[in-house]
Amino acid sequence: MAPEGRGGHVMTNLTSGGGLMTAPVVSALDSWELVAAAQRGEKEAFGSLYRRYRDLVYRYLMSRTGNRADAEDLTSETFARALRSIGSVAYQGRDVGAWLITIARNLWTDQVKSSRCQRETLVAEFADAVSDTDGPESRAMAAATAAEVGRHLAQLHDNWQEVLRLRFWQGLSIAETTAAIGAPSTGAVKATQHRAVQRLATLVTTAMIS
């Protein structure tokens, strides 16, 4: 039987992939009763689940992302995804919090994969920026990593940073980026992206061969 915590709550241990996390709940069955109520269309039941597990999910995601904004966004998406799939989930012999942590972990993993892919695309853009040279700059760019790119990004003008983040970190198209920043035309965004890539390539290569 799970041990009781302060206030008479049962303390349930949830394996998060990086150790045990403790969630104060009345009981696992009580939480699954809320799930059943939500499946019947009782909106307040899902609200109760949110209030009960929001902090647990947020703490888990904060420990993974290290960023409050990302943790908050992913927490919101975790519960949005849980609500969308509430009709298909069934009692799993463990606390509801474990199900929510699984959703959160999958979202975080997807974000990491997406960010890595987008940053690798940005590095490839830098390689193209110096592809017409056959010297130390070209070799440095070929060895550039996403971490090095990100480190030098902060040295660019704010509007250049914004364009690159929208294009390569968030995956927006040229047209979507134009609308997002209120640029006069897609051509202006393309020109800004080109200048930003060229400048960032210079910063990265200079640091790597110095």
Instruction: Give 3 or 159, the one with higher predicted confidence.
Output: 159
pLDDT score, position 68: 85
Q: What is the CATH number of domain 130-209?
A: 1.10.10.10
pLDDT score, position 199: 86
**Residues carrying CATH 1.10.1740.10, the chain:** 6-112
Contacts 24+ apart (CB under 8 A), 35-40: 35/86, 35/89, 35/91, 35/96, 38/83, 38/86, 39/86, 39/87
Buried b (16+ CB within 10 A) or exposed e, 165-174: bbbbbeebeb
- Report the CATH architecture of 6-112: Orthogonal Bundle (1.10)
The mean pLDDT value of the chain amounts to 74
**Residues carrying CATH 1.10.10.10, the chain:** 130-209
Percent of the chain scoring above 90 in pLDDT: 25
3-class SS of residue 11:
strand
Q: Residues 112-125: pLDDT tens digits?
A: 666 555 555 555 55
Tell me how crowded residue 118 is: count the other CB atoms within 10 A of its CB.
17
Average pLDDT on 32-54 reads 92
pTM: 0.47
pLDDT score, position 138: 46
- Whether residue 37 has pLDDT greater than 60: yes
Q: Residues 120-151: pLDDT tens digits?
A: 555 555 555 544 444 454 455 555 555 666 67
Please give the Cα distance from 90 to 155 (Å, whole number).
Answer: 50
